[in-house]
């Protein structure tokens, strides 16, 4: 790897650790929230916001030419907030106001209260349809912005997700990238034991999407996949990111089907932060 490239890559690793650390401290301070669901998408958020993928300007958050990121699995809000704060949309000091009365950092993202949030999500299944609308708007308005949506694998049981997939494929929306956070777990157990998604890649191809499956915790694979997505013409792109729910914290990784929506207890926090290895 050339020198400059490897320095950027190291910087991304540092940012990923910072995001993990913010996720843990904010949810533990709140005494509620979804750290494990946030931790599984840290590398995805890191590359989208800090890997030169998305075009955005925190001082002009409504720029019509900005790229859009929509967190359809809105309960992963602590992850989104950590990325937005590190990106400069608001101060990282605010992160520990998560879920407190009066804070704009609500349990689920509220686009009316926080710059950088593109869609108010949390009711699962809706984000891809919203992203589809933005992608269409770009086409109609002749703008070249791109739209990225992260959907959970449990969330993919929602029918509306498949309506949006069908529509985007039929209408060749190549400015739309869907990333599945494929952590194999949902709220009450394993996706495959509740509602198996089957061969997701074949299903997406059948809906006229281009597909790639990656290790969602490999920064290099995430970088390469998002680069690939930007080059695809004539079809929307799906990235199936294989991830681990609670990635980076042993306690959560060991019980991926048991920690949904639960913060790390205060007396386990220091250990978790040590495991993450963040120096924030
Ligand atoms: C329409 C709707 N139904 C149920 C819920 C409650 N709920 C919140 S998170 C979740 C599980 C989501 O699992 P998944 O999409 O796999 O996300 P993960 O946390 O694993 O990343 C459920 C059922 C919700 N928020 N919205
Ligand atoms: Mg899941």
Residue minimizing CA distance to atom 22 of ligand 1: 187
Q: pLDDT-based confidence at 25, cuts 50/70/90?
A: very high
- As beta bridge partners, residue 68 has 147
Three-state SS string over 116-144 comes to CCCCCCCCCCCHHHHHHHHHHHHHHHCCC
Asked if residue 99 has its Cβ within 6 Å of ligand 1, the reply is no
pLDDT (tens digit, 9 = 90+) per residue, 60-116?
999 999 999 999 999 999 999 999 999 999 999 999 999 999 999 999 999 999 999
Given a cut of 70, whether residue 156 has pLDDT beyond it is yes
Q: Which residue has the tokens 């703008």?
A: 143
SS3 185: strand
**Ligand with smallest separation from the Cα of 38:** 1
- HSE-up (13 A, CA, CB side) for residue 247: 25
Q: Which residue has the higher pLDDT, 7 or 53?
A: 53
Is the C-beta atom of 121 inside 6 A of ligand 1? no
């Amino acid at each position: 790897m050339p020198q400059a490239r490897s320095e950027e890559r190291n910087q991304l690793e540092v940012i990923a650790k910072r995001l993990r650390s913010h996720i843990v401290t904010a949810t533990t301070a709140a005494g509620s929230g979804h750290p494990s669901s946030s931790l599984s998408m840290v590398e995805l958020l890191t590359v989208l916001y800090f890997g030169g993928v998305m075009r955005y300007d925190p001082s002009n958050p409504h720029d019509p030419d900005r790229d859009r990121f929509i967190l359809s699995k809105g309960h992963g809000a602590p992850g989104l907030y950590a990325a937005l704060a590190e990106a400069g949309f608001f101060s990282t000091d605010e992160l520990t106001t998560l879920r407190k009365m009066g804070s704009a950092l609500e349990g689920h993202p509220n686009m009316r209260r926080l710059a950088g949030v593109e869609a108010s999500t949390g009711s699962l299944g809706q984000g891809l349809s919203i992203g589809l609308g933005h992608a269409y708007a770009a086409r109609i308005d002749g703008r070249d912005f791109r739209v990225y949506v992260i959907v959970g694998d449990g969330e993919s049981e929602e029918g509306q997700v498949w309506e949006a997939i069908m529509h985007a494929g039929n209408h060749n929306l190549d400015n739309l990238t869907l990333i599945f956070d494929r952590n194999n777990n949902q709220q009450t157990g394993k996706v495959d034991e509740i509602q198996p998604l089957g061969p997701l890649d074949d299903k997406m191809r059948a809906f006229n999407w281009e597909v790639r499956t990656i290790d969602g915790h490999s920064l290099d694979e995430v970088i390469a996949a998002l680069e690939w997505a930007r080059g695809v013409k004539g079809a929307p792109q799906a990235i199936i990111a294989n991830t681990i729910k609670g990635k980076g914290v042993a306690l959560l990784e060991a019980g991926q089907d048991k920690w949904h929506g639960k913060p790390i207890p205060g007396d386990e926090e220091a250990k978790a932060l040590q495991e993450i290895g963040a120096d924030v």
